[in-house]
Amino acid sequence: MNILLVEDEKSLGESIVAYLTKSGYHCEWANSFNSASEKTWSYEYDCVVVDITLPDGNGLEVIERLKSIKSKSGIIIISAKNAIEDRIKGLDIGADDYITKPFDLAELNARIRALIRRRSFDAQNEIVFNEICVSPYDRTVTVNDQNLTLTKKEFDLLIFFISNQNRVVTKESIAEHLWGDNMDMADSFDFIYSHLKNLRKKIQEKGGEDYVQTVYGVGYKFTKN
């Protein structure tokens, strides 16, 4: 997933880029309005995280530019707590979400994940991956036209894999997806292994293939190959 961060504060920008990169995203950084304009004009991003206050312009203008070129990027506003009017205007002109400073990086990551999932899947009544069919609205799954009973964690894990198919996802990113800000409560990744083992077993019991490849020392890859 390609992320563009538009933020002029150096220390915050470096922290966000490092965190999102570690979480498995390809993250680019624009520290000015002009730089953001050039990047959004030349490239398409899955999500643009934009600070409203920039040294040479306004983040709202970045959002307006994205909308004028009919960009499909999801947009999250970063704003100060007292910038209520700007947040409202940003949402009115097309932003999807906002987060106020100061914020936890895990929360920003969760907002990005949720936004990308919504934009990827909400327009679809069904998501089909070979013999696996997922209905996001009523959270049901079938394998070879047979109903599959999954726990909430198993369903979330399956959606996470399908939305990140053909790319390596780290154990840390899976843990954060399943547990969010509470991931630190787990003292190991044993809970991932448990959910993953159960998910694979249930799919195979319905005659489905095992699409999860272990990438030793890193995480997993969900792929048809």
**DSSP code, position 218:** T
Return the residue matching tokens 């205007």.
Answer: 89
In order of 5, 48, 74, 138, 175, the CA distances from 78 in angstroms are 10, 10, 13, 32, 25
Query: CA quadruple 152, 155, 159, 164: dihedral positive or negative?
Result: positive
Is the pLDDT reported for residue 122 higher than 70? Answer: no
- Whether 2-120 shares its CATH topology with 124-222 is answered no
The residue ranges of every structural domain in the chain are 2-120, 124-222
Is the pLDDT reported for residue 186 higher than 60? Answer: no
Contact 47, 113 (CB under 8 A): no
Q: What CATH homologous superfamily does 2-120 map to?
A: Response regulator (3.40.50.2300)
Question: 118 falls in which pLDDT band (50, 70, 90)?
Answer: confident
Is the pLDDT reported for residue 181 higher than 50? Answer: no
User: In terms of DSSP bridges, do strands 2-6 and 140-143 run parallel, antiparallel, or are they unpaired?
Assistant: unpaired
Does the domain at 124-222 match CATH 3.40.50.720? Answer given as no
Tens digit of each residue's pLDDT (9 = 90 or more) over 20-69: 988 888 899 999 999 999 998 888 888 999 999 898 888 999 999 899 88
Judge if pTM exceeds 0.75.
no
